[in-house]
Amino acid sequence: MRRFRLFIHTLTHLVNDNYGGFLAPLLPLLAIQHDLSLAAAGLLVSVQTLAASLFQPLWAYFSDRFPSHWFILLGVLSTAIFFSLIGVMPNVPALMLTIFLGGVGIACFHPLATAVAAALTTRKKGIAIAIFITGGTAGYAVGPVFIAAIVEAYGLHGTPIAIIPGILIVIAWYFLGPRKVRRPKNDASDSDQQIAVKNIPRAALALLTGISFIRAVVLLAYGNFISFHLQETGMELQQRSYYIFALHVGGAIGGLFYGSLSDRLGRWRVIFWTPLLALPLFYWFNAAEGTLAIIILFLAGSVTFASAPAVVVAAQKMMPGREGMASALQIGLAWGSAGLTMGLVGKLGEIFGVGEVLFGISALPLLMSILALFVAKYRHQFEG
């Protein structure tokens, strides 16, 4: 029964994060509709990412102390409502507010939902977290294709149709999801937990958050600006959505595979080695075309996202009793901070060209492995 509840919980994550994938393929159309520059379009990405990410530590604070299923249910519902309205907003302020409120819904969902996923198993937390994160990444991959199909059929004014899966999954989770919403069980006494909190290795957490930040910059830049780059070649919306799909579904599969592998081979090895595999793949993608380019982007996404489950579990291991906050740092703060850079990425794209900027960003995975070298001395605190 726990496996079924984990399935429903993961499916809810998929549907929730599906809405987070709406903005990327629609950016060129929204830019035309609202007369936005590339830098201004980048700011829309920043608004979404900031709301969806930087609010997570706040929600984590409350959900760690007052765990309730309403954090999950209302989070998904608000995400579905507001992101389904982005095509019908009459002006830029209304569009930004809608994106912001949808992002807040994403932030409300993630901290407690991640902790609940870990609590559904007493062993092999790496694979449980990997399955849950894979659901979200798969949703982020499906979102662009889903919304592109709606817009091609009904135009931008048809986006409210997309609210239907959100309503259905909220009902399904309420009746079939995890029964007890709580943090993963910790056998330590309150006094032991207080000592553990005081002894949290902040330097290691900062390094892990840095790795998550760099990963987020790479994936946000490619996921949101590749559509502009491909539009310049004359590619249609539905075709462009397949590239975004390939990047994120690759990340979903990579997170699941390497998350499971990290339980056996060790989390640090996955955190260190997988970014090194991403480096040549991104450069190869920039030189490829057609189906080959989609396949390479899929592989690049898989190894770029591969270390995410290992990093989340490592952070949770080093923050006993604060698992929601640990998740918020790696999934929330890191992605929110990365979102701040998207306006800059857009401005650089205006100056140098989007293709050239993405080519430069392809070198960033190397920095992830460099930071991982400094994490090595803390391995004993998060392995096993």
Contact partners, residue 28, CB within 8 Å, separation at least 6: 41, 227, 228, 231, 237
Share of the chain above pLDDT 70, in %: 92
- Please give the Cα distance from 116 to 118 (Å, whole number): 5
Is residue 258 within 8 A of residue 307, CB to CB? The reply is: yes
Question: Residue 380 — very low, low, confident or very high, per pLDDT cuts 50/70/90?
Answer: confident
pLDDT at 192: 47
| Whether the predicted pLDDT of 190 surpasses 80 | no
Q: How confident is the model at residue 21, as a pLDDT? A: 94
Q: Take residue 195 and report the two structure tokens written for it.
A: 């000592």
What is the distance between the alpha carbons of residues 154 and 141, in angstroms, rounded to a whole number?
A: 21
Tokens representing 276? 């090194």
What residue segments make up the domains of the chain, in order of their start?
Answer: 2-181+191-381
Per-residue pLDDT at 1: 58
Predicted local confidence at residue 198, as pLDDT: 54
Q: What DSSP string describes 78-117?
A: HHHHHHTTGGG-SSHHHHHHHHHHHHHHHHHHHHHHHHHH
What's the rounded Cα separation, in Å, for the pair 360 and 282? 10
Q: What percent of the chain has pLDDT over 90?
A: 61
Angle between helices 202-231 and 365-375 (to 10 degrees): 170
The predicted model scores a pTM of 0.81
Q: Provide CB contacts within 8 A for 266, sequence distance 6+.
A: 379, 383
Q: Note the pLDDT tens digit of each residue in 163-189.
A: 999 999 999 999 998 876 655 555 444
The whole-number pLDDT of residue 69 equals 86
pLDDT in tens, 148-160: 999 999 999 999 9
The H or E element containing residue 48 is: helix 38-53
- Cα 218 to its chain centre, rounded Å, is 12
How many Å apart are CA 145 and CA 45, to the nearest integer? 18
pLDDT in tens, 198-240: 567 889 999 999 999 999 999 999 999 999 999 988 899 999 9
CB under 8 Å, gap of 24 or more: what pairs does 185-190 form?
185/119, 185/122, 186/320, 186/321, 188/320, 188/321
CATH 1.20.1250.20 fits 2-181+191-381, yes or no: yes
Higher per-residue confidence, 100 vs 63:
100
Highest-confidence segment of 106-110, 119-123, 183-187: 106-110
Per residue in 280-339, pLDDT (tens digit) is 999 999 999 999 999 999 999 999 999 998 998 889 888 887 777 787 788 778 888 898
pLDDT the model gives residue 182: 57
- The band of 242, judged by pLDDT with boundaries at 50, 70 and 90, is very high
Give burial (CB, 10 Å; 0-12/13-18/19+) of 42: buried
Q: Which of 66-75, 318-327, 344-353 has the lowest mean pLDDT?
A: 318-327
Please indicate whether residue 332 or residue 93 has the higher confidence score (pLDDT).
93
143 vs 55, residue with greater confidence: 143
Burial class (CB in 10 A: 0-12, 13-18, 19+), 191: exposed
- Tell me: pLDDT of 146 over 50: yes
The mean pLDDT of the chain is 89
Specify the DSSP class assigned to residue 124.
Answer: -
